[in-house]
Chains A and B, each alone.
Chain A
Amino acid sequence: MAIEQPEPRVWNGLFWVIQLFICINAVAKSFLQESRGRMLYFYSIASPSDFVLAKLLFNSLLMLVMSLLSIVLFSLFLSNPIQKAGPFIGLVLLGGWSLSLVFTFLAAIAAKAQQNAAIMAVLGFPLIIPQLLLLMKLSNAAFNPVLTIPLSTVLLLVALDVMIIMLAVILFPFLWRD
């Protein structure tokens, strides 16, 4: 490996950047790969809010599995500097969930705009940076036995996620009709 045992901060930074790219690639497919005919079929059998909730749920589960996999791979290949495994895994799951929610909705927008996946990155990067900053900041505490993870920030992230779900349910019907 190019970097054998990176410092905890580097490990953390690398981990979240890779999470971001995993998410873009995994979630973008969910909308961009659907053919027109299949969308029409979904349109006839389900209401838009059910459809978007199902998509959000599926992508959340997919991203949670991916997050766990990438923790395992990271600790196998780049050693394991994590001091508090429990909180770190919790944060990673929360982060994966947040990322998947934001990018699912952006994928819906990008698919409707009939653009390629590149526009998703343009739309998504500025939106996701604040959450990613918070997640990196929080998970830095998991590498240091002295620091504690502030609960208020975790709650802030959860509140953001709930807000994204609500916005998706409210706004998706407008994207859906054609």
Chain B
Amino acid sequence: MTNNINTKRTAWWKILCVALLVYTFIAGLLIKVPNLPLLGQTSRNLFFHVGMWMAMMTLFTVSVVNAIRYLRTFNLRYDIYSRQYATVGIVFGLLGYATGSIWMSYTWADPNNPLFKSFSALAREPKLIGAAIALLIYFAYLVLRDSISDIDKRARIGAVYNIFAYAMLFPSIWIVPRILPSLHPGQEGNPALELKDVNQFMRMVEWPAFIGWALLGVWITTLKIRLNLLKERKLMQ
């Protein structure tokens, strides 16, 4: 009974998510983008590459909010939420790397240099290192949380580290790369969000794309959460 009501109430954002992503793919590949030197048509990747990072940040934020909720209520359900959001956030981070490396191979890689030589220059990018640090922090969170066998202790220590790590994460991916010199766009201000960076047609795809990807991440996570809650219930019995 309750299930029926729930599906009706929660289905709208899933439909929205599919609609937004279909729109992103169709419009993102078909609209006219300005043919800038160097960038050319690759700027379409904006809808996918930046979308991944937006989804990752959204998921990590939801994860830390659930960690705080756990510490306030000591309800183990929030601990599962928190862990699953972090896991899916990591997946989106890795996808962000994948899309970024495709983009990079068309814009940054120097055709006059052999591949490994241009790679060693690119690997020192502060933005890449910052994102790698973010992922490592969350891998460390998974290692810490899953290494403790006591359920309550695991949840409590995991939540504490999650909050602490999130607070340290912000400087590493929002502030530090802006202080160090970099090839990556976004030295001053927010890349792709400023008016001068993106024309109005791209903006009409950009924001729906970001929301669509974030919704997709949340959707995947809710499925994982349901699975884990079932597993946990089986353990309890």
Smallest beta-carbon distance B207→chain A, Å: 29
Interface check A9, CB cutoff 8 A: no
Interface check B137, CB cutoff 8 A: yes
Interface check A55, CB cutoff 8 A: no
Interface check B108, CB cutoff 8 A: no
The reply to whether A171 and B163 contact each other, CB–CB distance below 8 Å, is yes
Q: How far is the CA of A123 from the CA of B175 in the complex (A)?
A: 21
Q: How far is the CA of A9 from the CA of B109 in the complex (A)?
A: 28
Among A102-156, those with CB < 8 Å from B are: 102, 105, 109, 112-115, 119, 122-123, 125-127, 129-131, 133-134, 137, 153, 156
The reply to whether B157 and A113 contact each other, CB–CB distance below 8 Å, is yes
The reply to whether A127 and B144 contact each other, CB–CB distance below 8 Å, is no
Inter-chain contacts of A114 with B (CB < 8 A): 148
The reply to whether A113 and B147 contact each other, CB–CB distance below 8 Å, is yes
Contact with B along A154-178 (1 / 0, CB 8 A): 0010001001100100010011000
Q: How far is the CA of A82 from the CA of B8 in the complex (A)?
A: 69
The reply to whether A123 and B144 contact each other, CB–CB distance below 8 Å, is yes
Smallest beta-carbon distance B56→chain A, Å: 15
Among B116-153, those with CB < 8 Å from A are: 126, 129-130, 133, 136-137, 140, 143-144, 147-148, 153
Of A119, A125, A133, A134, the residue contacting B144 (CB under 8 A) is A119
The reply to whether A127 and B180 contact each other, CB–CB distance below 8 Å, is no
Contact with A along B46-88 (1 / 0, CB 8 A): 0000000000000000000000000100000000000000000
Identity of the chain B residue whose Cβ is nearest the Cβ of A125 in the assembled complex: B136
Inter-chain contacts of B144 with A (CB < 8 A): 109, 113, 119, 122-123
Q: Assess A109 versus B153: contact at CB under 8 Å? Given A123-B140, A126-B133, A126-B136.
A: no
Interface check B184, CB cutoff 8 A: no
Smallest beta-carbon distance A38→chain B, Å: 20
Smallest beta-carbon distance A56→chain B, Å: 14
Of A115, A119, A123, A134, the residue contacting B176 (CB under 8 A) is A134
The reply to whether A109 and B161 contact each other, CB–CB distance below 8 Å, is yes
The reply to whether A156 and B164 contact each other, CB–CB distance below 8 Å, is no
Interface check B220, CB cutoff 8 A: no
Of B153, B172, B176, B180, the residue contacting A112 (CB under 8 A) is B153
Q: Assess A119 versus B147: contact at CB under 8 Å? Given A134-B179, A137-B179, A167-B163.
A: yes
Inter-chain contacts of A105 with B (CB < 8 A): 164
The reply to whether A126 and B140 contact each other, CB–CB distance below 8 Å, is yes
Which among A113, A115, A164, A171 has the greatest number of chain B C-beta atoms within 10 A? A113
Q: How far is the CA of A165 from the CA of B152 in the complex (A)?
A: 25
Of A123, A129, A153, A163, the residue contacting B179 (CB under 8 A) is A153
Q: How far is the CA of A14 from the CA of B20 in the complex (A)?
A: 51
Identity of the chain B residue whose Cβ is nearest the Cβ of A112 in the assembled complex: B157
Identity of the chain A residue whose Cβ is nearest the Cβ of B135 in the assembled complex: A126
**Can you give 13 contacting A-B residue pairs, CB < 8 Å?**
A109-B144, A109-B157, A109-B160, A122-B144, A126-B136, A126-B137, A126-B140, A130-B130, A130-B133, A133-B176, A160-B168, A175-B157, A175-B160
**A contact set with B: CB distance below 8 Å:** 102, 105, 109, 112-115, 119, 122-123, 125-127, 129-131, 133-134, 137, 153, 156, 160, 163-164, 167, 171, 174-175
